[in-house]
Amino acid sequence: MFEIIIVGNVDTFRTEAEIADELGKRVAMVYEDSAGWHTEVIEAGLEQTSSDFSGVVENAKEKLSHYVNRPGENPPDELTTRGALSLWLMVKDDGTAMGQKL
């Protein structure tokens, strides 16, 4: 069983889906940039070919697809703090960010 956690990562300047195992340990990360979708496996022993893992990666991509600024490209000039940048990375296509209407 896996869990997907969406984060606005200001260090990498993108929105990411962290995939955690049943113990809460981060095992992989999914993100999109100008080159397309990427999956980085963090846990060396993770069975990447399992249908469970493939399904969770596809689910992560679907969840991330609703975050309009996920690649971190062309941020507004007024984003001068880490908090503002993180909030911008978390804006969804329904006009909310972190569950709040903007």
Contact 102, 87 (CB under 8 A): no
Query: Does residue 102 sit within a domain?
Result: no
Q: What is the pLDDT of residues 27-86, one digit of tens each?
A: 999 999 999 999 999 987 777 667 788 899 999 999 999 999 999 999 999 999 999 999
Domain membership flag for residue 58: yes
Beta bridge partners of 26: 20
Cα separation, 5 vs 18, whole angstroms:
5
- Cα–chain center distance at 70: 7
Report the alpha-carbon distance of residue 96 to residue 102 in Å, rounded.
Answer: 6
Residue-wise pLDDT tens digits, 8-44 = 999 999 999 999 988 999 999 999 999 999 999 998 7
Structural domains of the chain, count: 1
- Model pTM score: 0.89
pLDDT (0 to 100) of residue 49: 63
**Structural domain of 39:** 3-95
